[in-house]
Amino acid sequence: MKTAQEIRPGQVIMLDGSPWKVQKNEFNRAGRSSAINKMKLKNILNGMQTETTFKCDDKLEYIVLEQKEVTYSYYADPMYVFVDSDYEQIEISKDDLDNVLAYIEDGMEDVCQAVFYNGKVISIDLPKTIVRQIAYTEPAVRGDTTGKVTKTARLNNGHELQVSAFCEIGDYIEIDTLTGEYKSRVKR
Amino acid sequence: MTDIHSSRWTMFCAMIDNFGDIGVCWRLARQLIHEHGIQVQMWVDDWPALQRFLSVQADEPGIELQHWQKDWPQPASVNQQIAASEVIIEAFGCELPDAVKAALAATDTPPLWINLEYLSAEDWVAGCHGLPSPQNLSPAIRKFFYFPGFEPQTGGLLREAGLLGKHRQWQQQQSSERQQYWQSLGISPEQLPLDALMISVFTYENPALSGLLKQLADGGEPVVCVIPEGRSLNSLDFLQTKPRAGDVLQLGSLTLVVPAFSSQDQYDWLLSICDFNLVRGEDSFVRAQWAAKPMLWHIYPQDDGVHLDKLRAFMDRCLEGLDPALRQHYEQLALRWNQGEDCRDLWHYLRPQLPDLLEHARKWQQKLAEQPDLATNLVRFINRPPAGLIR
């Protein structure tokens, strides 16, 4: 069992006897009570989708699934294709990549985890931290080196996020894939 | 469809902080009984506090009160009786006793289970209102989150029938209502003009309160501050002794009045005849909006500062259409007030703007009143609940 606080996109929970993959979750605080977790769920068996809300301390039955290391290969509309160490191709739809789609780009070398339920791939997990290059951002702000002032930056795949004001076009940055937040600028 | 007019609902209320939680539950229960013909059984955990609350309320024989003891020493028959309700409401995320959950799981037709949440003006509320929350106890159990709110896509706000009419009447006769109040305090109109600025104060502890009261005392304008017994009195550092219920103190141009703990109806009346209301939490905050007088909200403080986001979200909604300069000053006042910071310069600016704030408060009340009230919305929701988990 896990609490609803610990459940993340890509994981699978059992609800009333059916396995549901968490596609997206959103945490909010309502007044003095504990936080709540709104989840977008997809039934693994029949593809039905629904939304639910849980108190973060609600206990949920969590299923440990088979995983395999894979890397991204190419996009063959409408499927994203990954390969494992035996060069076996694994196809997954855009819907099932909801939580990581923002970081998928051609040429990425991150070692990902393909997650399977009854032999079928249901999600791809990225490493907790990934490095991406800034394709475009406004010129750096002089004088600020604290990193507290932020601005918008666009990655090579078009995804936008907030980065420190001193980041420039061509810089490589670390991103936390769980929160989607910029962590730091890195040298390559 | 449930025949709502023969329904029996069970409500669980944990009293966390003074009388806010029970205040909301009590109002909801009253409305369900009087306006929707529903029988209500209410389980309340803090029995002494409940007795204190009840000591000043009008009798409400329709609500069947039960003591919710922590170890839940209830026989199986009680759990079965609860499980036979049409609806169970757990107020503000209080957790139902395990034995009650087990009884729900054991019945073929369990009640709809509603988690009545706290009020927030944030955008995410509409997206979470009415969503199912499967509990893995039994596929027959359907639990939903129910959010009060300011938008039509939410559960609405508590507003009993006739409330706005009462406010209109009180405010049309404001002078005579005040005279009656002055007399009850032993103050004659010769001592204090009936058009003196009148402010009610019902806040959490707030370091900014002393500064504001000192400013009012030194300001020369006759002002009456009514501070009902409660936590606001802990913040009057500038007084040598903490005032007590029944005290009427003259401090320069400020008359400070401390009435004893009062009923919900008396508090509504007070909000209505004051010119400015300092309110807190949820219950008094909502009631002040129905009173349609300028107000300042002291939101329940949270460790991570998330309450300031909630405050801003509320102001984004309620200040829409207000003159930009006035809005900016009001927002600054609200933020400083909620951080316990000195507000005197902002009050100095806003005092002459109270007529404009009054006009805006009336418009806001009218806008809110266009939507159905929370109890009516809830009854409709129970009658036509959304599908639970789609399997």
Domains assigned to chain B? 4-157+372-383 (3.40.50), 163-369 (3.40.50.2000)
The yes-or-no verdict on residue B3 having pLDDT over 60 is no
If pLDDT is split at 50, 70 and 90, which confidence band does B387 have?
confident
pLDDT, mean of residues B267-283: 96
Cβ of B391 and A14 within 8 Å? no
The yes-or-no verdict on residue B251 having pLDDT over 70 is yes
ipTM of the complex: 0.88
Q: What is the pLDDT of residue B190?
A: 79
Q: What is the pLDDT of residue A9?
A: 85
CA distance A48 to chain B (A): 7
| Domain at A2-63: CATH architecture | Roll (2.30)
* Mean of the per-residue pLDDT values of chain B: 93
pLDDT, mean of residues B369-377: 98
Report the relative pairing of strands B143-146 and A172-176 from DSSP bridges: unpaired
The yes-or-no verdict on residue B380 having pLDDT over 50 is yes
Cβ of B17 and A54 within 8 Å? no
Cβ of A55 and B115 within 8 Å? yes
If pLDDT is split at 50, 70 and 90, which confidence band does B2 have?
very low
CB under 8 Å to B15, separation ≥6 — which residues? B21, B22, B44, B45, B46, B49, B50
If pLDDT is split at 50, 70 and 90, which confidence band does A141 have?
low
- Does domain A66-125 correspond to CATH entry 2.40.50.140? yes
Q: How far apart are CA B81 and CA B111, in angstroms?
A: 11
pLDDT, mean of residues B291-300: 97
Q: What is the pLDDT of residue B186?
A: 80
If pLDDT is split at 50, 70 and 90, which confidence band does A44 have?
confident
Q: Which residue, among A2, A3, A25, A32, would best test binding to B if mutated, counting the most B CBs under 10 Å from its CB? A: A32
**Residue B89 tokens, joined:** 């409401």
DSSP 8-state secondary structure symbol assigned to residue A42: E
> Smallest Cβ distance to A52: which of B124, B134, B304?
B134
- HEC string for B18-65: CCHHHHHHHHHHHHHHHHHCCEEEEEECCHHHHHHHHCCCCCCCCEEE
If pLDDT is split at 50, 70 and 90, which confidence band does A146 have?
low
CB under 8 Å to B320, separation ≥6 — which residues? none
Burial B324-363, CB ≥16 within 10 A → b, else e: eebeebbbbbbbbbbebeebbebbeebeebeeebeebbee
Q: How far apart are CA B95 and CA A57, in angstroms?
A: 10
pLDDT, mean of residues A25-43: 87
Burial B95-106, CB ≥16 within 10 A → b, else e: ebbebbbebbbe
Q: What is the pLDDT of residue B203?
A: 95
Q: Provide, as residue numbers in chain A, all residues whose Cβ is less than 8 Å from the Cβ of B134.
A: 15-16, 52
To 10 degrees, the CA torsion angle through B169, B149, B376, B41? -100
Q: How far apart are CA B120 and CA B113, in angstroms?
A: 21
- Could you read off the pLDDT of B317-355 as tens digits, one per residue? 999 999 999 999 999 999 999 999 999 999 999 999 999
CATH T-level assignment (fold) for domain A129-186:
OB fold (Dihydrolipoamide Acetyltransferase, E2P) (2.40.50)
Q: What is the pLDDT of residue B1?
A: 42
**Residue B117 tokens, joined:** 């949440």
Domain boundaries, chain A: 2-63, 66-125, 129-186
Alpha-carbon radius of gyration of chain A:
18
Q: How far apart are CA B158 and CA B377, in angstroms?
A: 10
Cβ of A31 and B17 within 8 Å? no
- Could you read off the pLDDT of A159-186 as tens digits, one per residue? 999 999 999 999 999 999 878 899 999 9
Are the beta carbons of B156 and B141 closer than 8 angstroms? Answer: no
Q: How far apart are CA B131 and CA B116, in angstroms?
A: 12
Q: Does B349 touch chain A (CB under 8 A)?
A: no
The yes-or-no verdict on residue A97 having pLDDT over 90 is no
Higher-confidence residue of B335 and A99: namely: B335
- Could you read off the pLDDT of B29-72 as tens digits, one per residue? 999 999 999 999 999 999 999 999 999 998 888 999 999 999 99
Higher-confidence residue of B387 and A57: namely: A57
% chain B with pLDDT above 70: 97
- Could you read off the pLDDT of B155-204 as tens digits, one per residue? 999 999 999 999 999 999 999 999 988 888 888 777 788 889 999 999 99
Beta bridge partners of B257: B226, B248
Q: What is the pLDDT of residue B390?
A: 60
**What does the DSSP assignment read for A5-36?**
GG--TT-EEEETTEEEEEEEEEEEE-TTSPEE
Question: What is the CB neighbour count within 10 angstroms for residue A12?
Answer: 21
Q: Give the residue from chain A lying closest to B20, CA to CA.
A: A32
If pLDDT is split at 50, 70 and 90, which confidence band does B389 have?
low
pLDDT, mean of residues B357-382: 98
Residue with tokens 């997809």, as numbered in its chain: A42
Residue B357 Cα distances to A130, B7, B95, B275, B367, angstroms: 51, 43, 41, 10, 15
* Mean of the per-residue pLDDT values of chain A: 90
Burial B24-56, CB ≥16 within 10 A → b, else e: bbbbbbbbbbeebebbbbbbbbbeeebeebbee
As annotated, the active-site residues of B are 21, 282
Are the beta carbons of B60 and B52 closer than 8 angstroms? Answer: no
- Could you read off the pLDDT of B133-162 as tens digits, one per residue? 999 999 899 999 999 999 999 999 999 999
Provide the phi-psi class of A107: left if phi over 0, else alpha when psi is between -120 and 50, else beta. left
